[in-house]
Amino acid sequence: MTFKYFSGFCLKNEEELFKEYLLDGDFCVAGFSYGAIKAFEEVYSNNKRVDTLQLFSPAFFQTMNTKIKKLQLISFKKDKDTYIKNFLENVSFPENTNMYKYLDEGLESQLDELLNYTWDKDRLQELVDRGIKLEVYLGGKDKIIDHESAKDFFKEFATVYYIKDKGHIL
């Protein structure tokens, strides 16, 4: 498999924001946030050669209260533009990167999938057993995901890079 990158929710072509961390070569798959889910599923579901799977700020909401998840979906349905504006501001924190140049249409089904996705330890272990190196990058000032729980969850399967002064966009 050649290098493949999966974009985050409501985003496209944002991989340039991760250029200092990306292994841009054959046999590497990477994804940011919602794209981390897609990257994981891509690697897990096929037997093509992959040496490294890079997950940047993986969408990790399995510790979030179900009511809050439902409220997120309701807010998106009610006023998609305001929801996305607020989302982009929180994604770029603390850098204040102009995320509008990467804006893509986000769908309710994608938001529902990322909010309700459950990372499975057995499936992660299967990738490790297949010899795939997992790298997880997390920001200590991330306003989107529960970065502390994500760090604790992924550390048994991956090399976790915890960057204290960075947000969702590292």
* For residue 59, pLDDT beyond 90: yes
- CA angle in degrees (0–180, nearest 5) for 39-40-46: 90
* For residue 133, pLDDT beyond 80: yes
**CATH dotted code for 4-163:** 3.40.50.1820
Residue type, 103: L
pTM for the model stands at: 0.96
Q: Which of 61, 29, 18 is nearest to 163 (CA)?
A: 18
Give the residue-averaged pLDDT of 40-50: 96
**pLDDT score recorded for residue 1:** 67
**pLDDT score recorded for residue 10:** 96
Contact 150, 124 (CB under 8 A): no
**pLDDT score recorded for residue 25:** 82
**pLDDT score recorded for residue 96:** 82
**pLDDT score recorded for residue 149:** 98
Give the residue-averaged pLDDT of 3-14: 96
Q: What percent of the chain has pLDDT over 90?
A: 95
**pLDDT score recorded for residue 24:** 75
E runs forming strands in the chain: 4-6, 28-32, 52-56, 133-139, 159-163
Q: Could you report the per-residue pLDDT of 74-125, keeping only the tens digit for each? A: 999 999 999 999 999 999 999 888 999 999 999 999 999 999 999 999 999 9
Domain spans of the chain, in order of start: 4-163
Give the residue-averaged pLDDT of 64-80: 97
DSSP state for residue 19 in the 8-state scheme? T
Give the residue-averaged pLDDT of 5-30: 94
